[in-house]
Structure 1
Amino acid sequence: MAHLSDLQQLAREIAIEAGDLAQRRRSEGVSIAASKSTLADIVTEADREVEALVRQRIAAVRPDDGFLGEESGEASGGSGVTWVVDPIDGTVNYAFGMPTYAVSIAVVEGNDPRTWRPLVGVVYAPALGELFSAAAGQGAWLGEERLTVTDDVTAGALISTGFGYDPASHADQLAVVQRVMPLARDLRRLGAASLDLAYVAAGRMDAYYERGLNPWDYAAGALLVTEAGGELGWHAPDEQGRAMLVSGSPAIFDRLYKTVAP
């Protein structure tokens, strides 16, 4: 296995290249969609193209590693290392021209989300020009700035969450919001789990919770949170099989974890 710093540097380089491609395609796609296709088609194609780029870059340097991506699925490897990739996290934001989308790349040991060991996490928001990264035992960073979670929520916590696309789930999700509000200064809904978690790590949010995330949604961001001194836990899956991720500063984590429990 490569040294952690080498894996982290490679993940950073690939994320920047992938994010810049996504941003370029978004700019080009607006004009293309006006005459040749729908913007939804452009977004779908950009997702696939960005993930293909990431896979190619990894394979060129580390051909024995496994891969788990949102668009192209899972491929096993012989090295024991797996790359977990969301090429464009926050595709609705991306489609609407909002800057809160990101490339999320994690490197883990193993291939099962229940048991893998996070090694590296990188979240790059190209439209914002921000590169978050972490390596196990080496802290979390925004560029060259070391990150740490917040430590004071006496005025109420700034809490982020997300909602599933299935309308049938909204009533339950809003019921959780009602329980959370007494803990909160306010709520935010960024629409990109990787950035929600990165913002918790950076102290921009005190906490974040969401049900129904996929491994590529949280793999990189979860390491950012824990390396910045935050906590992370899960509630068991609901009847649709959707587990709930809870993350945050130690100042609020325990109370939030209990409050959002089913």
Structure 2
Amino acid sequence: MSHDLYELARQVGLEASAFVRTNRPSGRVDVAATKSSATDVVTELDRACERLIRERIFAARPDDGFIGEEGDDIVGTTGVDWVVDPIDGTVNFVHGIPSYAVSIAARRDGAVVAGHVVNIATGLEWGAVLGAGSWRHEGDQKVRLAAPQPPPLAQAIIATGFNYVPEIRARQSAAVAKLLPHIADIRRIGSAALELCALAEGQYDAYVEQGLHVWDRAAAGLVATEAGFIVTGLDGEPDERMVMAAHPDATAEYFDLVRACGF
């Protein structure tokens, strides 16, 4: 059944991605509203994309639940709910930076069992099914993802991101400043979904971010986990307080460093 949920997520994700790509105007995109701060933006295409995803999922599975970034949650009766970010990386989308994604995950009884992420601007897509691995799609082929052996922490490239609330961002930047002397460097794409998929590809060695909502991380978190990374929170499951990830052989040293830096 999880594979069927994945196929639906992929079908809808690709349609939603094509919808956004086709309807995005040239240049910068107008902002429709803001959320947590003046820089935490929403566009009309965010809202239209989420409506499309919701309609397609409920057409196929009308009794499921739905959790989306831009709309009200819907409680289902099947034990399956869908966790959706219609455009993860909206600031990139607004500015025309080609790193923004549709992210769709299916949860069964609260556990993510299938996830699909597609970079709207490039068409690159990733998927995962719980217990069945994760992959990058190349046409009809699935290229399996596997966490590479990590380098020493001093040579590691760490992916991260920052909150939109200035006071929180100030604390996060101070923590990153403490982290930098212990690693090779940091990188930031501006889309948690794409960062976690890049981690699963082996482009980064580890990841840390605060302030992520479930729709930011549900699908891509499964992609990274099924590739062999440990994705966790500060003291348990990943949550809004903390999401950090690393290869199992690096978790003890890296997670201790994250805590010591004050994230």
TM-score normalized by structure 1? 0.88
Find the counterpart in structure 2 of residue 119 from structure 1: 113
Give the drift of 1:171.
2.6
Residues 40-119 of structure 1 mapped to structure 2, 5 A cutoff: 40-41=31-32, 44-110=43-109, 116-119=110-113
Whether 1:136 aligns to 2:127 is no
Whether 1:39 aligns to 2:30 is yes
Whether 1:147 aligns to 2:138 is no
Partner SS state of residue 73, structure 2: strand
Partner SS state of residue 260, structure 1: helix
Is the 1:159–1:208 Cα contact (8 Å) retained in structure 2? yes
Bigger drift between 9-18 and 176-185 goes to 176-185
Give the drift of 1:179.
2.6
Find the counterpart in structure 2 of residue 11 from structure 1: 9
Structure 1: unaligned runs, 5 residues or longer: 111-115
**Equivalent residue letter for 1:205:** Y
Find the counterpart in structure 1 of residue 39 from structure 2: none
**Identity %, equivalent residues:** 41
Give the drift of 1:6.
1.1
Is the 1:234–1:246 Cα contact (8 Å) retained in structure 2? yes
Bigger drift between 245-254 and 212-221 goes to 245-254
Is the 1:82–1:109 Cα contact (8 Å) retained in structure 2? yes
Give the drift of 1:117.
1.1
Give the drift of 1:242.
4.5
**Equivalent residue letter for 2:225:** T
Task: Give, in whole Å, the separation in 1 of the partners of 2:178 and 2:249.
Answer: 18
Is the 1:179–1:259 Cα contact (8 Å) retained in structure 2? no
Whether 1:231 aligns to 2:230 is yes
Give the drift of 1:214.
0.5
**Equivalent residue letter for 1:89:** D
Partner SS state of residue 85, structure 1: strand
Is the 2:14–2:118 Cα contact (8 Å) retained in structure 1? yes
Whether 1:252 aligns to 2:217 is no
Is the 1:236–1:243 Cα contact (8 Å) retained in structure 2? no
Is the 1:206–1:252 Cα contact (8 Å) retained in structure 2? no
Give the drift of 1:30.
3.0
Partner SS state of residue 252, structure 1: helix
Is the 2:213–2:240 Cα contact (8 Å) retained in structure 1? no
**Equivalent residue letter for 1:179:** K
Is the 1:209–1:247 Cα contact (8 Å) retained in structure 2? yes
Give the number of aligned pairs: 245
Is the 2:106–2:114 Cα contact (8 Å) retained in structure 1? yes
Whether 1:177 aligns to 2:173 is no
**Equivalent residue letter for 1:244:** M
CA RMSD of aligned residues (A): 1.9
Give the drift of 1:174.
1.7
Find the counterpart in structure 1 of residue 37 from structure 2: none
Find the counterpart in structure 1 of residue 155 from structure 2: 156
Give the drift of 1:86.
0.2
**Equivalent residue letter for 1:40:** V
Whether 1:207 aligns to 2:206 is yes
Is the 1:158–1:186 Cα contact (8 Å) retained in structure 2? yes
Give the drift of 1:212.
0.8
CA deviations 1:20-41 (Å, max 9, x no partner) are 1111122xx237x7xxxx6213
Task: Give, in whole Å, the separation in 1 of the partners of 2:119 and 2:92.
Answer: 12
Bigger drift between 57-66 and 175-184 goes to 175-184
Give the drift of 1:51.
0.4
TM-score normalized by structure 2? 0.88
CA deviations 1:185-223 (Å, max 9, x no partner) are 211011101111111111111111111110100011111
Task: Give, in whole Å, the separation in 1 of the partners of 2:250 and 2:98.
Answer: 28
